[in-house]
A = this chain, B = another copy of it.
Amino acid sequence: MPGRAAYHHGDLAAEAVDEALRMIAADPSASFSLRALAERLGVAHRALYNHFATREALLASIAARGFESLAETLRAAPDAPAFLAAYVRFALANPGLYDVMTQRDHAQINAHLGLRAGVDRVIAVALGVLASPGADDDTRRREVMRVWMVAHGGIGLQRAGMLRLRSDDQFVEEILHIAGLATKGEKA
């Protein structure tokens, strides 16, 4: 449980998440290991279990931080094309983190308070930028989901090498086109 001050180490829970984020950013392809994290923190690997019940719980906390960070990034987007571009660039710039964020198990998202909150913040920002102000809730939700699905799916396909696009810049331009949010003439 965070919030507790320093006993031996000084808030190990927070430091663990910080260091894990650094490790994941440094080498997204390497699978994240509790032992490697513990070694970097100069701590017995078992110490982490005093703060996170399982490895998955730690990953959920990392994901939560990722969604907070993503929401903050997206909040700067003035319109739909900027939103989509920012989302895609975040995912491509932080592939390991994006995986941790989006590959959590169904149940975990609702179980982990911070994670649920992070996801909801992203959705809230999206509703503000992407949805038509006057429309009913169902329509607004669908407008958001459409962009989200295109973005999430496009990222997955791009990273899997299914698309034949060379650079990430090219991909961003292309996905704006595909989503119907062309950079010049754009619709809702």
| Bound Cα distance from A145 to B151, whole angstroms | 12
Question: How many chain copies?
Answer: 2
Question: By DSSP majority rule, is chain A's interface helix, strand, loop, or mixed?
Answer: helix
Whether the Cβ atoms of A146 and B142 lie closer than 8 Å is: no
Residue A140 CB within 8 A of the other chain: no
Contact call B178/A163, Cβ cutoff below 8 A: no
Tell me, yes or no, whether A51 is within 8 Å of chain B by CB. no
A-B contact pairs, 9 of them (CB 8 A): A105-B161, A106-B160, A142-B174, A148-B157, A152-B152, A152-B157, A153-B154, A153-B155, A153-B156
Taking beta carbons and an 8 Å cutoff, which residues of A are in contact with B?
102-107, 109-110, 119, 142, 145-146, 148-157, 159-163, 174-175, 177-179
